[in-house]
Structure 1
Amino acid sequence: MNAELLEIYSDYLLSSFGQTTATGLSNLLDGELSHDQVTRFLNRDDYDSKTLWQHVKKAVREVEREDGVLVFDDTIQEKPYTDENELVCWHFDHSQGRSVKGINILNCLYHAGGVSLPVTFELVRKPHLYSDLATRKVKRKSDGTKNDMLRQMLKACRQNQLKYRYVLADSWFSAQENLTFVRQELGKHFVVALKCNRTLALTLADKKQGRFVRIDQLSWTGQAPIKAWLKGLDFPVQLSRQVFTNKDGSTGVLYLACSDLDCDQAAIETIYQKRWKVEVFHKTLKSNAALAKSPTRRVRAQGNHVFLSIYAAFRLECLSIKHKLNHFALRAKLYLKAVRLAFDELQMLKCVR
């Protein structure tokens, strides 16, 4: 990869407030970089998770700690007007409860010492076409599931010798295969959300005899976590319950499972709160790193633009640390400067006779 082009393109994504195109970048640089050079850059190679690690490794090594956490979550960047392909296709968005057309990205964020850096990612591709017998519509499917991808990403983090203690994820990634892999294969701990219909045994004897009950049918008498055996797991976990009030006044319940039996309720809640960092990262990708602003049509260019948006978000986090401003404050500063320059240019044009 051309390192100079990588920096220039990611700077373009961070400083742009409209569509990001090869022509736009070329015009911005007064033709020093041609439209064709940018286009070739986006279409020449596949910039993947390994490429990301090569560029973030130094920064990660400076902040990593034994008590760091890995946060997993996916996001969908909607692309309703882009032609469908194996990357831009239909995915179920659990936040909306429906399928949307766009690019589905599974991200892994490393958080330690107040710093959040992306360390690996995967794009959900659906290259296989099939006919749905029920609806008689042509649909797409991928080679594996997002849970399969998560375990592969964890293997990559192990290969990169990343220091961390906990893996955090919401209920969509709390499958028993993932939890078993984290605890027994990697020797790490997890704090994950669970769906209310998940079943468990309250004693080892109940587990051996197959006596399992749903989480939402338990009698919670206090705030202390409960030691329990989730169905399908060979080890106990600490189970906690959080009751909270939504903005509309309704009551919600969050069930958390923690494999670290030394954690109390406060510790479990504190650790899981760090999962919110990935939500902030996704908001930055979409609002500050021009994730949706590229009109590229080729699959490779679309995937590479996603990589460059992730890299741009990483660079924004580095700037945030350096200048002690959050991502949105930094972007607001850039925007104000751009408006100021535009305003001054307009005054000069008005003075020309």
Structure 2
Amino acid sequence: MGCSRLAEILENVSHDSINRFLLRERYEAKDLFDTVRDLIDLKGGILSVDDTVIEKHYSNPECAELIGYFWSGKYHKSIKGLNLITLYYSDRPEKSVPINYRIYNKKEGKTKNDYFKEMLLEVMTWGLKPSIVTGDSWYSSIANLKFLRNQKLGFLFGVEKNRTISNEPGKYYQVSSLEIPDEGLITHLKEFGLIKLLRKDFRKGDSRHYILYLPDSEKLTNISRQEFITIHDRHWGIEAFHRAIKQVCGICRFMVRNTRAIQTHIFCSLQAFVRLEKMRSTNSISNWYQVQRNLFTLVIREYILSNLPNTCAI
């Protein structure tokens, strides 16, 4: 919400105070990690990377350097907004939180893949030791895969159907043309090396392909279909996170143009999500949406009960 609306709700806090807060603070990604450090097990979890567009359809990109045009899977076209790239971590007790993030800034001259590698090195420096890294096909470039292998990390990434593999020297096949058993196919990805290729079928005949790599080739061979499904489903938690920060954490609802003010707002929205996840993980709420639903239930009930006699009289 905007500064004016928040000041109206809080009553004793002025619009200018909120605006000064947004401009004054200098929160960094490390501050987010420090917030969640005690909530998670730093070893053995699943680390997912993905990005989402924070929609700002009516903003002027010329007035805010972080606003630009980015591809949206929801709209299937480029739309105006901010591009938020996030590392999202799920540990074994099923607690899931964002642990690092970047807001795409064209002035920095970096790609989303650059941000990904930069963030990964940071969280490992901060003490995180994930068991595996997951992402969609955007992040499955050979450069990224070799980078992860050099870090001695396993990974599960989606790949496009035209990626090529080889079972024997000099012969390459597109992944979409292959018969892939449920347990996966041990093969060689072109320009990378040994991987396990898997396919997952969805409704309406849609299929997606995934490549799995583990530093231990024996474990790679023995990993089961159920283990693949578990890792895959845990990765999709980052999509649920994206929906939650937009629907209940107000990440899209800012009315400032200054870069520092926008960055502070984004950080506060991520902190709001962490607070909800803490409440969910301690069973204070059953899901991230419960606080909002309960709030509106009380308001709507009060309104209906207050106006019901008049309505019935009419």
TM, length-normalised to structure 1: 0.79
Query: Match for 2:130 among 135, 160, 164?
Result: 164
Aligned to 2:255: 295
Residues 56-115 of structure 1, C-alpha deviations (whole Å, 9 max, x = no match): 22223xxx1633100111000110111213211111224433110001101111101211
**Separation (CA, whole Å) in 2 of partners of 1:97 and 1:276:** 19
Range 34-43 or range 336-345, more displaced: 336-345
How far does residue 313 in structure 1 lie from its aligned partner after superposition?
Answer: 0.9
Aligned to 2:278: 318
Residues 215-273 of structure 1, C-alpha deviations (whole Å, 9 max, x = no match): 112233x323111111121x31111112222xxxx201111111131312221122111
How far does residue 346 in structure 1 lie from its aligned partner after superposition?
Answer: 8.2
**Separation (CA, whole Å) in 2 of partners of 1:47 and 1:65:** 22
Task: Verify: 1:26 aligned to 2:3, yes or no.
Answer: no
AA of the residue aligned to 2:233: Q
Task: Verify: 1:67 aligned to 2:44, yes or no.
Answer: yes
Query: Match for 1:180 among 121, 125, 146?
Result: 146
Task: Verify: 1:104 aligned to 2:70, yes or no.
Answer: no
- When the two structures are aligned, how many residues end up with a matched partner? 298
AA of the residue aligned to 1:224: E
Task: Verify: 1:78 aligned to 2:55, yes or no.
Answer: yes
Contact 2:23 2:260 (8 Å CA) reproduced: yes
SS across alignment from 2:257: coil
How far does residue 51 in structure 1 lie from its aligned partner after superposition?
Answer: 2.2
How far does residue 37 in structure 1 lie from its aligned partner after superposition?
Answer: 1.8
SS across alignment from 2:5: helix
Aligned to 1:53: 33
Aligned to 1:255: 209
Aligned to 1:285: 245
How far does residue 324 in structure 1 lie from its aligned partner after superposition?
Answer: 4.2
How far does residue 338 in structure 1 lie from its aligned partner after superposition?
Answer: 3.8
SS across alignment from 1:161: coil
Q: Unaligned 5+ residue runs, structure 1? A: 1-19, 128-141, 348-353
Aligned to 2:290: 329
AA of the residue aligned to 1:296: V
Counterparts of 1:82-231 in structure 2, within 5 Å, are: 82-84=59-61, 85-112=64-91, 113-127=93-107, 143-184=109-150, 186-203=151-168, 206=169, 210-220=170-180, 222-231=181-190
Contact 2:244 2:288 (8 Å CA) reproduced: yes
Q: Unaligned 5+ residue runs, structure 2? A: 215-219, 309-314
**Separation (CA, whole Å) in 2 of partners of 1:100 and 1:255:** 27
Contact 2:42 2:127 (8 Å CA) reproduced: no
Output the aligned Cα RMSD.
2.0
SS across alignment from 1:212: strand
AA of the residue aligned to 1:211: K
Contact 1:170 1:192 (8 Å CA) reproduced: yes
Contact 1:320 1:330 (8 Å CA) reproduced: no
Task: Verify: 1:36 aligned to 2:1, yes or no.
Answer: no
Aligned to 2:217: none
Contact 2:164 2:189 (8 Å CA) reproduced: yes
Contact 1:83 1:297 (8 Å CA) reproduced: no
**Separation (CA, whole Å) in 2 of partners of 1:289 and 1:190:** 30
The structure-2 alpha-carbon separation of the partners of 1:344 and 1:47, relative to structure 1 and needing over 3 Å to count, comes to farther
The structure-2 alpha-carbon separation of the partners of 1:52 and 1:344, relative to structure 1 and needing over 3 Å to count, comes to farther
Aligned to 1:351: none
TM, length-normalised to structure 2: 0.88
Residues 147-177 of structure 1, C-alpha deviations (whole Å, 9 max, x = no match): 1111111101111111320101111111111
SS across alignment from 1:269: helix
SS across alignment from 2:242: helix
**Separation (CA, whole Å) in 1 of partners of 2:43 and 2:127:** 11
How far does residue 274 in structure 1 lie from its aligned partner after superposition?
Answer: 0.7
